[in-house]
Chain A
């Protein structure tokens, strides 16, 4: 159990376009989903925490108008990178957890390249 999928796995887009990434918990209901970003040879950076049916909580320095998060159901959260620029190129990873202080389960990640 505890499988998380992410789509797409890789996207290459032109500067100025918006990119939508989906994160799904396949075999459990995720009360909370997390979005991370990881630059090469660096550690995971938490961008935001989203709870189903409520607004996401963004980490300091993360622009909520640029990284739109929607957590419409207990199995789906989406991250939209609006007006992407080359500096947004990164590895975006979502994770999901059940209720309580348990482990997080990660999706396989989305590698975004903005030209």
Chain B
């Protein structure tokens, strides 16, 4: 069965450092991979989408890579700030499955001042 795994442990880093979160998947061939941010008690918020034929995507301090050979995506936050503390979710989507997103369990990031 298809499976998505994100860093199971919470990630604690110092302000100003780069946070790197991992999303690995098996038994799935996504056309798109999305990253969302979720704060406690709130719904997820879309951050970035990357297509299967793209290696890397950037948006301000965020960078996402997508390696379909390794079946892995890395999500980087550079110059991290305490306000970046949240849970980050990756989600996979196939081209012909409409809006069906398959989510990972999320990685909790804590950025200490």
Q: Do A and B bind each other?
A: no
